[in-house]
Structures are given as structure tokens and as C-alpha cells.
Amino acid sequence: MIVALIDSGLGLLPTSAWLRRLRPDLDLVLSLDPDGAPWGPKPEPWVVDRVLGAVRRSLDRGAQVIVLPCNTASVTALPHVRELVGPEVPVIGTVPAIKPAAAACDSVAIWATAATTASRYQADLIEQFGNGAKVVGVPCHGLADSIDLGDRAAALAAIDSAVARTPDDVSGVVLGCTHYPLLADEIAARLPAGVTLFDSAEAVARQTLRRIDGLGAAGEGSGTVEVFVSGRPGALPPSAEAFDAGRLLGAIKA
């Protein structure tokens, strides 16, 4: 069973690590796009075209399941991906973990990119899943970009800025960009004691496995990992090593 994960950059690593942890036999195709990153500020047709290109290459490599562990890709391109691959290929998108956070906490902050924070998409999710909790959006300017560039100092400065703009009464923080869990320990250390972090990586991985099980014809794989960088066969960029990705990389390497 070959599962393809598509993101602009390193945000696919947390979901990949969960898949590797839960089903080490899966063969993974990781598709990153540093040449086109960040996707968030790009025009919608451009993002759709970029994602569909990655999907086509993944299908050529034998992918039987497509995962978009990226909020921008999910919001912008998910219907187009499903139309391209047809009903026989499961496609799993990513939604920020607002629902579990609002169910557990009275006051929640959603850390996300500036574009996502200002989007109708996030506002609709809050309205649908807010569960009466006080929910505030906190734009994390430059955090995802710093992670993809391997600029740890800039990433930590972006975290400090986001912490300063997070209300004191918040008891839960949703990591609303799939890059942010790569620095979950640093984020938790800078927030007040007792604040719980929520992210979607494990939930997306488990939903992927449910869809795989639903296919009913999935044999065991060899647990290989292929990496494509802006369409070219390659390796994870050196920037991955800057964010304690060793723990995650160790979990997903064959």
C-alpha cells in the first residue's frame, strides 16, 4: 500500500511520522515543494495546479491513497484532487483541531498563518465547531516559512511574538498549520503552564488508516520512503534537521 503525502514543505512530517508509527509497513511518497513555497499567499488557481501536479506524479509512482497534510492545499485544492483521482482513490484532507480543543477548553487560541487566520474557512470552522468556547485567531507571521528555511532563530522569534499576542486566559492552543508541531516542545515551553496544544496530525493519520482498511485489498508493504522535492526525486532538505526533526525523521525513514 503506497500512501502519498503532499505539502508545500516540512508540514507533512508530523502526519508521516504518525503513519510510520501506526503502520510501519506502509510505503510513503513524500512530496514537498520548496520551489513554490509558501503556498498560502499564492493565487488559488496556482495552488490548485501545483497540488494537482504533485498528485499526478504520486499516482505515477503507484500511490493508492492521497493525503494533503496542509491546510492551504486542503482548503484550496481538495475538491479538484478528488475529481482528478476519482472515487477509487481515497483523498484525506486536513482540518485544524478546533473541535477537540473547543470541547476540552473554555478559551482557545488558533495559531495559523496570516492568510488562514483571516480566511472565511477558519471563521466557518469556528462557527461550526466552537462549541460555545471563546475562540481567538492568532496569526503567526513567518513561522511556517522559518521552519521550511531551517531558520531556528526566526522561528523562535515568531513563536515569542505569537505568545505575546495570545490572551492570558487561553487554556488551549490549536496548531492550525501543519508545520507548527515540529516546534511543539518549544511552543509549549513558552506558553503558560497548563495550556494544552492540539494538532491534527494523529487524527489525519488515523483517518488515513481507516480509509485504507476500507479498501479491503491492502497488503503489507515494505515500509519504504520516497521523497520528491518540487517534482524531483531527492531527500528531505537540510532545514528539517534544524527543528528536532530527528525524532520525526527517525520515525519515518526506512
Rounded CA gap, 236 and 22, in Å?
Answer: 21
Angle at 147 between CA 146 and CA 149, to 5 degrees: 65
**Which one-letter DSSP state was computed for residue 10?**
G
- Listed residue (177, 231, 251) closest to 10, CA to CA: 177
C-alpha cell at 224: 519504504
Q: Is 203 helix (H, G, I), strand (E, B) or coil?
A: helix
Q: Is 181 helix (H, G, I), strand (E, B) or coil?
A: helix
C-alpha cell at 96: 485544524
C-alpha cell at 8: 508545500
- Alpha-carbon dihedral angle through residues 37, 100, 102, 143, given to the nearest 10 degrees: -20
φ, ψ of residue 8 to 5 degrees: the values are -70, -30
Choose the catalytic residue: 19, 70, 158, 236.
70
Q: Is position 177 annotated as part of the catalytic site?
A: yes
Q: Which residues contact 8 (CB under 8 A, 6 or more apart)?
A: 32, 33, 34, 36, 37, 38, 39, 70, 72, 73, 148
**What angle do the packed helices 245-252 and 13-22 form, to 10 degrees?**
50
Rounded CA gap, 74 and 79, in Å?
Answer: 8
Choose the catalytic residue: 177, 183, 205, 245.
177
Known catalytic residues are 70, 177
